Chain A
Amino acid sequence: MKITKDQVSHVADLARLTINEQEQELFTKQLNDILMYMDMLNSVDTTNVEPMTHAMEGTEAFREDVVRSSLPLDAVLANAPDDDGASFKVPKIIE
């Protein structure tokens, strides 16, 4: 076993996902299969290989520091579940 049911439940919790008992079992098994496959890949000797973090290496992709117009406020708030005409309105999250 590479990952336990408790770990799966913890990660689901962090990701704000509600999963039932059966799903916990199912995802634990599926994640284990994936992690076992990673183990198989790990058997390849990569001693002198730099880890790849991106498909395009060594590319410079900069933007110059020049202001561009922002969105109009009505467009900014268009998809908000709730707003006061200026800010997004959310349930209070601090004591």
Chain B
Amino acid sequence: MEYEPVIGLEVHAQLKTNTKIFCGCSTAFGAPPNTHTCPVCLGMPGVLPVLNRTVVEYAVKMALATHCTINHVSEWARKNYFYPDLPKGYQISQYDRPLAERGYVDLDINEEGKRVNITRIHMEEDAGKLIHDESAPVSYVDLNRAGVPLIEIVSEPDMRSPEEGAAYLRRLHEILVYLEICDGNMEEGNFRCDANVSLRPKGEPAFGTRTELKNMNSFRNVQRALEYEIRRQQYVLESGGTVIQETRLWDDARGTTLPMRGKEEAHDYRYFPDPDLVPVTVADEWIDEIRRTLPELPREKRERFIREYEIPAYDAGVLTASRAIADYYEQVATRCGKPKAASNWVMGDILGHIKEDKVEMEDCPITAADLGNLVRLIDDGTISGKMAKDVFEEMWSSGEKPETVIKKRGLVQITDAGALEAVVDEVIAANPAQVEQFRGGKEKVFGFFVGQVMKKTKGQASPGLVNEILKRKLSGS
């Protein structure tokens, strides 16, 4: 029987605020354990949480970017469970009245694309971190992360393959990073994903029993875990068994999913409204204000680049991988007026060097204006493309302007046809044998002549002009 996978994803994204969601402790990553804690996030008795306005603003941004309906009034709920990383014995979250509902994102996969619906987006606090002792039966609790703001984005079970799951995650990640509300670093845990997977016979409308997958800390692992779990469930079903509803942990080293212990699974959280926090009111005026601050999102930017700069879809994809790259490209393209040439320089030379030298786009040693000028200097014939590569190298290492480098190296292209004709005549006169070969049909010798001319002009001859003059002279006219 052919089975169809049904996948839904829950994403937890850490919001990039300065302070925690309900207290003024810093959210900075990497501080010594427990130095970013206070009576509120330690869960001391008698304290009162006060909501960070920026958390709501960021959550609304994400909700707008994913076409959700924002609830003007949403509520806080306590999710009750015991675990040492949760000092209060409950997590403050949102339950039956979340901040936002019913949105979607569009994926550019296959010919026809794919829409994945979003069930809800809600705000909540993160838990602390546990470090387990390798040799003793103890764990160490660091509560710096307790109370760091999160949004949880829950999708509908709309995905039908691990590839669609991965594409959906990449899209959410891209939007969060573009909105500058989340760092999106999966290794540091500020973008986490759980998956719900089930199988059903193809064509069957009802869903099968699902399992929940946790502990996947990269896009690749999400896809691998989904692939494994689909194969596992298929095996269970085909051998006459039934899938048990359970939570399974992805084991990266073994490449398998393993069931979590039953105890931690008791999904009996006894949610109830948190009496310490008033409902969150988000008026239309505030929503409109936030909407005005939304940047152009990656998908729209890609489409505009293709339309406005007439560059290939591939280029547009690479150039919109981050806002910093996109902004840089746009400045280069505008400055030189040659969008495709600008694209080649940014995609090849700039991104290549960025990767090689492991620097951030923001710290690129060549300004967009200088690169734009360099492209313009090639276009107007001042220097050749080949010279430009050398100039680029020097600009990269010294941060100097292209004009400065060109002047310093005396790199001015010879574009005077009369001067070049004289050189070409010399070369032809000095190499009668090669001229014979060329006229006899051996066209490869042409490269030899170009090389000779370049040598005599110290590489400063305009290659286009050299080719033109050589062709004319060698064919005997």
User: Which residues of chain A have a CB within 8 Å of any CB of chain B?
Assistant: 10-11, 14, 16, 53-54, 56-68, 70-71, 73, 76-77, 84, 86-95
A residues near B26, Cβ cutoff 8 Å: 67, 70
Inter-chain CA distance A59–B281, complex, in Å, is 8
Beyond A64-B52, A93-B84, 12 extra complex contacts between A and B, CB < 8 Å:
A53-B75, A61-B50, A63-B24, A63-B52, A64-B53, A70-B35, A70-B38, A71-B38, A86-B32, A88-B140, A89-B138, A94-B139
Verify B51–A62 contact, CB threshold 8 A.
yes
Whether a CB of chain A sits under 8 angstroms from the CB of B266 is yes
Q: Are A93 and B139 touching (Cβ within 8 A)?
A: yes
5 A-B pairs within 8 Å (CB atoms) are namely A59-B281, A62-B53, A68-B24, A92-B133, A94-B132
Find out whether the CB atom of B19 lies under 8 angstroms from the CB atom of A91: no
Q: Are B139 and A62 in contact (CB under 8 A)?
A: no
Measured between C-beta atoms, what is the minimum distance from A72 to chain B in Å?
9
B256 close to A (CB within 8 Å) = no
Determine the residue in chain B with the shortest Cβ distance to A71: B38
Closest to A55 in B: B275
Q: B401 interface residue, CB < 8 Å from A?
A: no
**A67 in contact with B24 given A88-B84, A90-B141 (CB within 8 Å):** yes
Q: Are B35 and A66 in contact (CB under 8 A)?
A: no
Complex Cα distance, B35 from A72, in Å, reads 7
Contact across chains for A92 and B19 when beta carbons are under 8 A apart: no
Chain A residues near B32: list those with CB within 8 A: 73, 86
Bound complex: CA of A51 vs CA of B141, how far in Å? 39
Query: In the bound complex, what is the Cα–Cα distance between A58 and B98 (angstroms)?
Result: 16
The answer on a CB contact under 8 Å between A67 and B35 is no
- Return chain A residues, CB-CB under 8 Å to B141: 87-90
Q: Which 9 A-B pairs have the closest CB atoms?
A: A68-B24, A87-B140, A65-B54, A62-B53, A88-B141, A53-B273, A63-B50, A90-B84, A92-B137
Main secondary structure of the interface of B (DSSP, over half): loop
A36 to B130, CA, bound (A): 43
**In the complex, how many angstroms separate the beta carbon of B55 from the nearest chain A beta carbon?**
8
Whether A87 and B37, one on each chain, are in contact in the complex, defined by CB atoms closer than 8 angstroms, is no
Tell whether B255 is near chain A: CB-to-CB under 8 Å: no
A57 to B278, CA, bound (A): 7
**A73 → chain B, closest Cβ, in Å?**
6
Is A95's CB under 8 angstroms from B261's CB? yes
Q: In the complex, which residues of chain A have a beta carbon less than 8 angstroms from the beta carbon of B138?
A: 89-92
- By the criterion CB–CB under 8 Å, are A92 and B17 in contact? no
Q: Check A54–B50 contact: CB distance below 8 A.
A: no
Nearest CB of A to B95, in Å: 11
Between A11, A86, A87, the greatest number of chain B beta carbons within 10 A of the residue's beta carbon is seen for A87
At the interface, yes or no: B448 with Cβ under 8 Å from chain A? no
**Which residues from chain A contact B75 at a C-beta distance below 8 Å?**
53-54
CB proximity of A42 to chain B, nearest CB, Å: 18
A62, A87, A95: the one contacting B142 at CB < 8 Å is A87
Q: Which residues of B contact A66 (CB under 8 A)?
A: 18-19, 24
B385 within 8 A of A: no
Which residues of chain A come closer than 8 Å to B136, judged between CB atoms?
92
Kindly report which residue of chain B lies nearest to residue A68, judged by CB atoms.
Answer: B24
How near does chain A come to B125, taking the closest CB pair, in angstroms?
14
Assess the A77–B137 pair: CB atoms within 8 A: no
Cα of A54 to Cα of B55 in the assembled complex, Å: 21
